[in-house]
Amino acid sequence: MQDLVVHSEVVGSQLVLTLNDPPTRNALSNRMAVQLIEQVRHLDKDASLRVGIITGTGPSFCSGADLNDRQVHATSDVREHVPRRRRTIFETVSQCAKPIIAAINGPAVGAGANLAIACDLRICAEDGWLQWPQAKLGILPGSGTLARLFSTVGVARAMEWTLSCTKVDAATGREAGLFNAVTSGDELLNRALALGGAIAESAPLSVRFIKESLASLVTSQAERTADADEYRSFILFNSRERQAASEDWRQNREARHADGSGPAIPGPADPVDGRQQSDA
């Protein structure tokens, strides 16, 4: 079907989900988020499936949120905004009862990096990398991402990478514990399937309870900070600082198009429950 931007394939007892929207470098649009949520929920419920894998097609894993598919997220009243926080795509992935492996085949930027850190395990291609550039756009990595990153690599690296918008390459991420393994692009999916296959050989209930026990340490922190993240995101989305940063980004993107350097990577924002946060 032409409207599918998340392709699914069952390999043994594993569900491989491939983000497939090459023109946007697999930007996380409303359509993609909804389809990904549906597939992860299917993974969660199907007893024949033991492990999920999320990867991308082409040179990118996920280039961030698709700002051409934006919908207004912030409300005019903080008191209305915070209680209406809904389950996000990142929470759907992180709270799935089955382990999910991110097979990072290329750049994972903004919302793409949020998606990668929401997965339980990460294998990165040698030329892959993660980046949280939200601070340059006057926003923040929301939906519990900061808590998940802190739990994975510690506060010092989480601070450095998000405040300075560091591009975390495969070697740096492996050393920091962000990636479980680094491999060639040609072997990436096979490596992910091999890891998933080893997990699938273990007793399903044991796998579930081990994941629940370990993930609860991360989830508890993410849930405690989620409302605060939404409150801060509301303030940032309505700030002049964020508006100026977005306008600078738009002008730079148009300049890159004009000089023939190719399409710019869509700017990062955090899709919420399959909907797009506005950058305007």
Q: Which of 104, 166, 165, 177 is nearest to 140 (CA)?
A: 165
State the total domains in the chain: 1
Q: How far apart are the first and last CA of the chain?
A: 32
Residue 52 lies in a domain: yes
Percent of the chain whose pLDDT exceeds 70? 72
**Mean pLDDT for the stretch of residues 18-24:** 96
User: What tens digit of pLDDT does each residue of 28-83 get?
Assistant: 988 899 999 999 999 999 999 999 999 999 999 999 987 665 443 434 444 444 33
Residue 269 lies in a domain: no
Q: Are 124 and 173 in contact (CB under 8 A)?
A: yes
- Residue 280 makes CB contacts below 8 A (sequence gap 6+) with 70, 72, 243, 246
**Helix ranges, the chain (H):** 30-45, 78-81, 89-94, 111-118, 145-153, 155-163, 170-176, 188-200, 204-237, 240-258
CA torsion, points 250, 266, 22, 193, in degrees to nearest 10? 170
Residue 86 lies in a domain: yes
- Residue 55 makes CB contacts below 8 A (sequence gap 6+) with 16, 17, 18, 19, 61, 102, 103, 104, 105, 188, 189, 192
Residue 274 lies in a domain: no
Domain that holds residue 135: 6-258
Residue 65 lies in a domain: yes
- Residue 157 makes CB contacts below 8 A (sequence gap 6+) with 176
Please tell me the distance from the alpha carbon of residue 62 to that of residue 34, in angstroms, as a whole number: 15
**Residue of 108 and 244 predicted with greater confidence:** 108
**121 strand-pairing partners:** 101
Q: 117: which 2 tokens?
A: 């850190």
User: What tens digit of pLDDT does each residue of 82-120 get?
Assistant: 333 345 889 899 999 999 999 999 999 999 999 999 999
pLDDT at position 218 is 73
Residue 273 lies in a domain: no
pLDDT at position 45 is 97
CA angle 43, 4, 200 (to 5 degrees): 25
**Residue of 37 and 228 predicted with greater confidence:** 37
Output the domain CATH number for residue 49. 3.90.226.10
**Residue of 231 and 29 predicted with greater confidence:** 29
pTM, entire model: 0.82
**Residue of 259 and 25 predicted with greater confidence:** 25
pLDDT at position 229 is 72
Band the pLDDT of 258: cuts 50, 70, 90: low
Residue 169 lies in a domain: yes
Q: 146: which 2 tokens?
A: 């900061």
Q: Is the pLDDT of residue 168 over 70?
A: yes
User: What tens digit of pLDDT does each residue of 141-159 get?
Assistant: 888 899 999 999 999 999 9
pLDDT at position 223 is 62
Band the pLDDT of 216: cuts 50, 70, 90: confident
Residue 265 lies in a domain: no
107: helix, coil or strand? strand
**101 strand-pairing partners:** 53, 121
